[in-house]
Structure 1
Amino acid sequence: MTTDQNEQLSSRDKVLLAALQMIGENPGAKLSVRAVAARAGVSTGSLRYHFPTQRELQDEVLTRLYDVVISEDRIHDRTVPARDRLVDCLRQVLAPAGVGAGAREASRIVHEQFIAPEPTEQVKQAYAALEREGRRRVEYWLTVLTDEGALTAGDTSRRARFLLTVLNGLALERALPSEGSILEAENDTLYMAVDAVLGSEAS
């Protein structure tokens, strides 16, 4: 984006662009109000006007990122069985990190940003924002399947938490040495997890 184009953006869009750039450069960036405002070239007051809390800013940025990385269209394609659609959606969550070197780098960043440091309030809030947006997406997919009758009504939040736990384990496996095909084993695990959630209602 050129300087002229950046000048034409609203202050809200400047804040979002700056925050997205910071996340792009460092996926574990904490998005502090001062740092984002400085990067955006706006006052902290202007940032607070659009995003009164750091949580609101983090949630909006992560929503935008997920919108780019994860397509919501797939879950609505009823020409494909429900279990395949849900597996495909979950696979999209894993895709950005890649396998091998990419997955190791992603794991390193997660470790440095959220595991190694003391769990300060800022670290907790940054991780909670990531987890919240991921859970929201998975709950949405499950709700779509429930509404169409492919999944019996139940505790959507609990089911989403289970699937996200499986995804966390698979993301770590992608970073670890493996003798066989990581993606083949991953596929088996995803289908097993989805079948456990869908139960006898899979279609």
Structure 2
Amino acid sequence: MTGTKSSRDRILEAAVAMTGERLGAGLSVRAVAARAGVSTGSLRHHFPTQRALQDAVLTAVYDTVVSDDSVIHDTSLPARDRLIACLRLVLAPAAPGAPSRKAWGNVYRTFIAAEQTEELRRTYLAVEREGQRRIEYWLAVLTDQGALAEGDNTRRARFLNTVLGGLSVERALPAGESLLTVETETLAMAVDAVLGSG
């Protein structure tokens, strides 16, 4: 029932659904507004730029898929374990094997094999930005708690994001040994490197 939701919520719901239906497809203001049942002026009121809309969509997706607040703030666990658990949340949506192959196939077709348009570039960079923002948030929490020395969290997050990218590709490829063991060892090494940086 759309009557009880704000126009902003309806716009965001419509944009998230459209993004899920066509990865890499741009979010046309007119199409999103029509699907949400609002005017383009209303959409522009809430999201003045294409980037603002795209960033809000990706934040909503990450907040749903990678719900991390209870994990990163659970001080009953060591900082190392909390950060590893948060990074695992990013990997969790695409299970090893066929699901990961399908996900990477979509990424390949959308962002690598397709003609590189400015719209595709913006979409990919928005996804990258949101992943980076999420990891920087986790690192900021650990820094605020004194579990991580002050330092360049942007650089640290970039490193962890790169490790996650490699592990997600590895999930799509045939594995000779226990993927869980390899992932755990790799995440532990990466987190140890970050926590030991100063």
Match for residue 9 of structure 2 among 9, 13, 16? 13
Displaced runs of 4 or more, over 6 A: none
| Matching residue of 1:161 | 158
Matched, 1:53 2:46: no
TM-score of the two chains, using structure 2 as the length reference = 0.93
The TM-score normalised by the length of structure 1 is: 0.91
The Cα offsets for residues 156-193 of structure 1, whole Å up to 9 and x where unpaired, read as 10000000000000000000111211121111100010
Counterpart selection for 1:100 from 97, 100, 122: 97
Matched, 1:23 2:19: yes
8 Å contact 2:91–2:168 — kept in the other structure? yes
Match in the other structure for 2:146: 149
Pair 1:160–1:188, CA change in 2 (3 A): same
How many percent of aligned residue pairs carry the same amino acid? 63
1:10 Cα deviation from its structure 2 partner:
2.7
In structure 1, runs of 5+ residues without a counterpart are: none
In 1, distance between residues paired with 2:117 and 2:169? 24
Distance 2:102 2:30 in 1: 27
* Partner amino acid, structure 1, of 2:137: Y
The answer for the alignment partner of 2:58 in structure 1 is 62
CA distance in 1, matches of 2:165, 2:186: 12
Tell me whether 1:116 sits opposite 2:113 in the alignment.
yes
- Structure 1 pair 57/114, CA: closer, same or farther in 2 (3 Å)? same
2:73 counterpart residue number: 76
